[in-house]
Each structure stands twice: as structure tokens, then as C-alpha cells.
Amino acid sequence: MSTELPPAAAQEPIPPDESADVTPTDATSPDAPSTDEPSPDAPSAAETTDAQSATAVPGPRRAPRTAVLLVGALLLGPLLGGGLGYLVQAAGPATPLPALQPSVLPSYPAGALGSPAAAAAADKPLAIDGDLRKLLIAKPDGAADWDGFGFAEAGEYETVGQIARAQGSSATVFSRLLTAGLRRAVINTWEKDGVKYKVELMQYASDSAGSAYSRVGTESGSDTHPLPNGMEGAYYAATKPEKYSETTEEFYYGEGVTRRGDLVVRVEAFGGAQVNADVIRDLVKQQWERLA
């Protein structure tokens, strides 16, 4: 029995598929566009960089160094100063505290002061609430009557308007008297030895007497003299003549002013020659003593 195998059948070659005839495109073909050459319409590299720079978001701005240093100095200054001050105080000796209780205790009266005792110990104000006309000094012996320029009757009360009219600057004096707190006034007048005298008592409110006296005070000058015996005020006699406000007649003027409590004493003199200052001083003193 033969062991030889029969020969294999010869295979027929497979014909190529005509429909799949595809010619491969050469990358280096002259007809194909080259990827290495830039397109004429494409933007250049510099233009692209500028565009990216323009559209880039800016980063945060850095704080100025000077401002940072100033803020740091302001913060560190108080800390360093406080630390140095503490070290200086800690190194010094301790200051002893004062004693909690004084060596000598204040003393007080054993009992409370009652109302009658307190009233008796208080200063007594000058009680002048009666008729002021009774407090005027009388006309001296040998003196003649004088109408006081016709503004007020001798020995009687006078109004604020009458006082203002007698001073010349009526509106100013009227306002000043009312502002000063004038309550009432009396006047006495006479004429002796060719000199006309006028004595006034003007009572002001208790809290306005001091300021009223300073407004009524005499004119200052070389011929002004203080009143004697510690009396408040001054007196003087002018050495040059003056003229009346409504006439051309000349006269020599003299005045003395003092105060007692809420009463202002004023003595005026009008003479054809220089008046005697001693007479004015004596009249002011007499009227002041009569108020005691």
C-alpha cells in the first residue's frame, strides 16, 4: 500500500480588484500645497504676539515701597516707644504713695448752725428802702434856691428822662441808665457864692450797683483826687472852662462820686470861675455819712 499523498491542487491567482485602484498621493507632489510655507492671508508671528499682549489680563499692581515703609514705621513707633518707656520706669526706683489718711483731721462744729444763727452771722446789707428824699443833705445856710436848669424840683424824685436831659447826650444817657438797672433817684439843688450845686442819690439794683458806679465815675485827670478815710470814689475840679450844650456860655465844672451799698452819690458844681475842690469833697463826705 503506497503512502504517498496526492499532490495539492494548484491555487489560482486572485485577480486584483479593479474598483480599488487607488493611486497614493505623494506628500512631495508639486501640486499639493506645502505646510512649511505660510499662507499669505495668515497673520505674522509678531502680529499674533501683539494681539495676545493686548488681550492679556493685567496682573495686580504692587504697592509702593515708600507707603509700606511709612505704615510700618507708624505701627512700630508706638510699640517701640511704649516698650522703652516701660523699661525706663521699671529700672527706676519705686515712687512711694501718699498716706491714705492726713496727719491732722479737719474739725467741724459739734452741731448744725440753725437758720436764725446763720441769718445773724451773715453780712447785713444796707437797708435803704424808705423815702430817699429824707436822706438828702439839706441846703446849707446862706444858700439860695436854684432850679437845677429846670429839669427837676429840688428835694424831690427825678425821672430817668429828667436825668438824661440834664446830661446833654439824652438818648445815650437814657439807655445807659436803664441798662445799668436804675431804680429811683432824688435830687437837691442850691446856689452859693456864685456856684450852682446839685446833689443826687441814685439807687440801683443790688447786683448792678458796682457796674453803675463805674459808669457814673468822675473823669480821670491830673486834678482828680481820691476821697479820704477809705471812701470809695474820687472828686475833681476842672481847670479849663466848658460850654453848655445849648448856649455859648462858659462854666467851670466840678464833680465828686462815691457809693454806699446800692446807692450812688453824685455831687456836681457849675461856676463862672474855677470851683473849690475841697467844697465838693466835703459835700460828698457829708452825703455819704448821712447814708450810714
Distance CA 227, CA 236 (A): 10
Amino acid at 237: A
Q: What DSSP string runs through 27-41?
A: TT-TTSPPSSSPPTT
pLDDT of residue 86: 83
Using the Cα atoms of residue 221, residue 224, residue 230 and residue 231 in order, give the sign of their dihedral: negative
Neighbouring CB atoms inside 10 A of 242's CB total 12
* pLDDT tens digits for range 207-236: 776 766 665 555 555 578 999 988 889 999
Only one residue has cell 479820704, namely: 228
**Rg (Cα) of the chain, in Å, rounded?**
60
Most confident of 7-16, 62-71, 111-120, 247-256: 247-256
Report helix angle 170-179 to 160-167, nearest 10. 140
pLDDT of residue 76: 85
CB of 166 within 8 A of CB of 151?
yes
Percent with pLDDT over 90 in the chain: 30
Structural domain spans, the chain = 145-290
Banded model confidence at residue 101, pLDDT cuts 50, 70, 90:
confident
Q: What DSSP string runs through 44-105?
A: PHHHHHHHHHHHSPPPPPPPPHHHHHHHHHHHHHHHHHHHHHHHHHHHSPPPPPPPSS-SS-
pLDDT of residue 211: 66
Percent with pLDDT over 70 in the chain: 67
* pLDDT tens digits for range 11-35: 555 555 544 444 444 444 445 444 4
pTM of the predicted protein model: 0.56
Average pLDDT along the chain: 77
Distance CA 136, CA 141 (A): 15
Question: Does 155 have pLDDT greater than 80?
Answer: yes
Cα–Cα–Cα angle for 10, 13, 14, rounded to 5 degrees: 135
CB of 204 within 8 A of CB of 262?
yes
Distance CA 262, CA 156 (A): 19
Neighbouring CB atoms inside 10 A of 169's CB total 11
